[in-house]
A and B are shown apart, each in its own frame.
Chain A
Amino acid sequence: MTVMQHIWIVLGVLFVFLNIAAGLIWVERRLLAMWQDRLGPNRAGPLGLFIVLADTLKLFFKEDWIPPFADKWVFILAPAIVVASVLMGLAIVPFAPGIVVADLNVGLMFFLAMSSLGVYSIVLGGWASNNKYSLLGALRGASQMIAYEVFMGLSLMGVVMLSKSFNLTDIVAAQENMWFIVTQPVGFVIFFIAGLAETHRLPFDIPEAESELIAGFHSEYSGMKFGMFFIGEYLGISLISAMTVTLFFGGWLGPAFLPPVVWFFLKTFVFIGIFILMRASLPRPRYDQLIGYGWKLLLPLVLLNLLVTGAIALWLRS
């Protein structure tokens, strides 16, 4: 590939995902409204699509307030980290054969590393705000993310064992005959749960918990800095959905009547929809229940999954 091609792919991925993230404003609100017997935003433009524009404009024109009691530079840095880390994570996702920003041989490790960085935005944002609600949110966020990171990584090791590679293109290719959802259902469930926790979406929105902590770690944020957290969350949803598709649902693979890229995005949108459905239907557990659930139930389960997968893989080879 030429340098120009690379640049086009990078720009293309950026363009597509930033637009998806923005578009999710509309998608989420319309879907939630549908499930909640409401109409949702339907006035601006066709089907209310321009709400995206209106929301973005609003965020840009809001006063970009930095509280005088906040730690100014950290306060500014925090929202940037969330967007940056998620976008970096998207770099290793193969959308179709050849369309990938960085075809790393340790792609999966890179993804885990980047998603781990996301916790910094919560901790720093909550700390720098110098607000008690933010601090509580940040503390909750930190312990939640650390707990769920552990088995997010472990849940994927089954896939790695079966495909014998950390490279995502190889992993997709290894699913030519059978998607890993069939052989790794437990891995999928746990990865998806961990993914919900990573993006701190309901029922894992403990760091925000609007009925308890106002808006948790980003209570003090306004304007485009808040917008960054907002976009970061939607990007995170897209990333986890894209990764779920890549790792367990055969990535771009699908019957030939549609091009691979289309298959990939179709599957991804299904998972984005599930993220939103979760939000529409589930209540929020308490923070200690959530952490307990992670360490006491999911961790043993994921280890067991690993053990069984390894045993079967060895047995098949012999």
Chain B
Amino acid sequence: MLETDHIHTQLIQRFGPDAFQQQITADRILTLWTSKSNIVSIIEYLKSNNFPFLYDLCGIDERDRAGKEKLPVADFTIVYHLFSFKQNEFVRLKVALTGEYPSLPSITALFPNANWYEREIYDMFGIRFEGHPHLTRLLMPLTWQGHPLRKEYPARATEMGPFRLWDEKQDIEQEALRFKPEEWGMQSHSEDSDFMFLNIGPQHPGTHGVLRIILQLDGEEIVDAVPEIGFHHRGAEKMGERQSWHTYIPYTDRVDYLGGVMNNLAYLLAVEEMAGIKVPERVKVIRVMLCELFRINSHLVWFGTFAQDLGQLSPVFYMFTQREKIFDIIEAVCGDRMHPNWFRIGGVAQDLPQGWDRLVREFIVHFPKELKQYNDMVLRNSLIKARTKGIGVYTLEEAIEWGVTGPGLRACGFEWDFRKKRPYSGYEMFDFDIPIAQNGDCYDRSVVRVEEMRQSLRIIEQCLNNMPEGAYKADHPLTTPPIKKHTMQDIETLINHFLNVSWGPVIPPGEAMSCVEATKGANSYYLVSDGNTSSYRTRIRTPSFAHMQMIPYISKGYTVADLLSILGSVDYVLADIDR
């Protein structure tokens, strides 16, 4: 707290006390409201004073918010999350905007990764950013009408009336699909050569999902690449506004669909922070164990498909076989494999089943041997080294500038892991190392991931050997499903139980952001509650979004074949990008 106070005083000294209005939030992140005329200079000041990392940038439609009288007058709010590695602190800046379709200055000149975030806000809220180089829709189709995250925009298909595709409308849609390089910010020819435009995707074996990358090629050399995302956009953030706090959990499973319960954790940490729930030790350890199993799982998928992208056919089969073994454990514990939806507000769904320790122990015993084999097969192969060393390089400064987190950041030689630096869910109790590498190329990112699997295994082993006894759910009225123990004895508990089952819990008003080290990088849920049965705003900060945004920057000058190494080594999940 001292650190953030320090920043606060600094800011007040620099910009005067009238420039800010502080808001107290449940997550105790320094939250300052400011005006749009100041925001660029404030961010510029913070960037040069230990806050070099634009962690997240999102909007909130404040018009329907209950209890907004206590906050500055705003129809819309733009929320900037800046992070300081040095002080290990977040700063949250909020800009209040008024009017139907307001605008504010862009910060793309300060942070290159603000580009997509601002486009996303424009797409979702219709808020314009002055000075943005290419302010077009990002996730929704270019012909889309309306801005989905505005409160007047319907959340259910049934509220929208039946869909009709008139002939003229079809013509317009078809015409909008015609490719014009200029619309994507590309030239069709330079002084001495005509470029070839190659669509990688939306259907392509190398993109691991529905992603389109438009390549501007000179021969096989990539002059420019423009990713088109949004094919996987399901409106996960909008769904958060109509699902109850409890029934939203299964949706989180599907954000980073390889991360499984790790997404639940990111969401629940924020909810529990607002509700003031302290979970028992056993819950923490169970959660950590499952998260680490999922981390290994996700890394195995990456490992196999990465090798396959480089033309090695076999590894993916071995790794998926191993993944099945992990799924056996997960299925035994959770009853489901990929999307177990198993964590609950204040705990987990059930206690660990009998015999879980035997399954986990078997896995811990044989997995290191297998992993060594895989490592020898893939990463020690000289052809793989030739394909990945020195490809897709970025420096630490570039990584921070583009918002890279997770293994991609650690591959630049920076020992930063949120599990270690800002421990959550009891990670401070575990003994593990943060693997790093030095060069920031495709190969180093791979080496880091493989080593991470070993470290995850260490954590799982510690979970196994030190599993605390106790309850698998916190004793708190807001946990889900609500505790039934005393319902037959006293009427208060019965009413409470009835309401929490039928409506779901009411989380007290407030704001909180969680931050977990997910499989691919930092994953956050920034939740705003206005004291209702569902969240007022659910913002999901995903690592893949930032990483995908960086791909054009790191693939220029390489060949088409290298692009596949880069895509493979970045390890994204399309659902994690588009949400």
* A, B in one complex: yes
Residues in chain A within 8 A of chain B (CB atoms): 32, 35-38, 132-133, 136, 202-203, 205, 209-214, 279-289
User: Which stretch in B71-79, B165-173, B307-315, B411-419 binds the other chain?
Assistant: B307-315
29 A-B residue contacts at CB 8 Å? A32-B313, A36-B313, A36-B314, A36-B317, A36-B318, A37-B321, A133-B198, A136-B560, A203-B311, A205-B311, A209-B311, A211-B308, A211-B309, A211-B311, A212-B561, A212-B564, A282-B312, A283-B307, A283-B384, A283-B387, A284-B311, A284-B561, A285-B383, A285-B386, A286-B387, A286-B559, A287-B220, A287-B559, A289-B386
B554-578 interface bits toward A, Cβ cutoff 8 Å, 1 = contact, 0 = none: 0000011111100000000000000
- Chain A CB within 8 A of B16 CB: no
B317 neighbours in A (Cβ, 8 Å) = 36-38
A211 to B196, alpha carbons, bound, how many Å?
19
A287 to B560, alpha carbons, bound, how many Å?
10
Which of A35, A36, A203 has the most chain B CB atoms inside 10 A of its CB?
A36
Nearest B residue (CB) for A35: B314
Interface contact B220-A136, CB-CB below 8 Å: yes
Nearest B residue (CB) for A288: B559
Interface pairs A-B: 10 shortest CB-CB: A284-B311, A283-B312, A36-B317, A283-B310, A283-B311, A211-B206, A286-B561, A283-B383, A211-B309, A36-B314
A280 neighbours in B (Cβ, 8 Å) = 313-314
A136 to B310, alpha carbons, bound, how many Å?
17
B285-323 interface bits toward A, Cβ cutoff 8 Å, 1 = contact, 0 = none: 000000000000000000000011111111001100100
Interface contact A282-B383, CB-CB below 8 Å: yes
| Interface size counted on chain B using CB atoms at 8 A | 28
Which of B310, B381, B386 has the most chain A CB atoms inside 10 A of its CB?
B310
Nearest A residue (CB) for B381: A283
* Contacts between chains A and B (CB distance < 8 A), count: 77
B198 neighbours in A (Cβ, 8 Å) = 132-133, 136
A250 to B440, alpha carbons, bound, how many Å?
51
- Chain A CB within 8 A of B234 CB: no
Interface contact A214-B383, CB-CB below 8 Å: no
A136 neighbours in B (Cβ, 8 Å) = 198, 220, 560
- Chain A CB within 8 A of B204 CB: yes
A36 neighbours in B (Cβ, 8 Å) = 313-314, 317-318
Interface contact A212-B318, CB-CB below 8 Å: no
A281 neighbours in B (Cβ, 8 Å) = 312, 314
A136 to B307, alpha carbons, bound, how many Å?
22
A210 partner, pick from B205, B321, B381, B384, beta carbons under 8 A:
B205
A289 to B220, alpha carbons, bound, how many Å?
13
B378-389 interface bits toward A, Cβ cutoff 8 Å, 1 = contact, 0 = none: 000101101100
Nearest A residue (CB) for B316: A36
A283 to B386, alpha carbons, bound, how many Å?
10
Interface contact A284-B314, CB-CB below 8 Å: no
**B378-428 residues at the A interface, CB under 8 angstroms:** 381, 383-384, 386-387
Which of B206, B308, B318 has the most chain A CB atoms inside 10 A of its CB?
B206
Interface contact A214-B381, CB-CB below 8 Å: no
A287 to B564, alpha carbons, bound, how many Å?
13
A83 to B534, alpha carbons, bound, how many Å?
66
Q: A36-B314, A281-B314 are in contact. List 18 more A-B contacts (CB 8 A).
A: A35-B314, A36-B318, A202-B313, A203-B311, A203-B383, A211-B309, A212-B206, A212-B560, A213-B560, A214-B204, A282-B381, A282-B383, A285-B383, A285-B387, A286-B386, A287-B559, A289-B386, A289-B387
Nearest A residue (CB) for B307: A283
Interface contact A37-B318, CB-CB below 8 Å: yes
Nearest B residue (CB) for A202: B311
Q: Closest CB of chain B to A30's CB: distance in Å?
A: 14
* Known contacts A212-B564, A287-B220, A287-B559, A279 near B313 by CB under 8 Å: yes
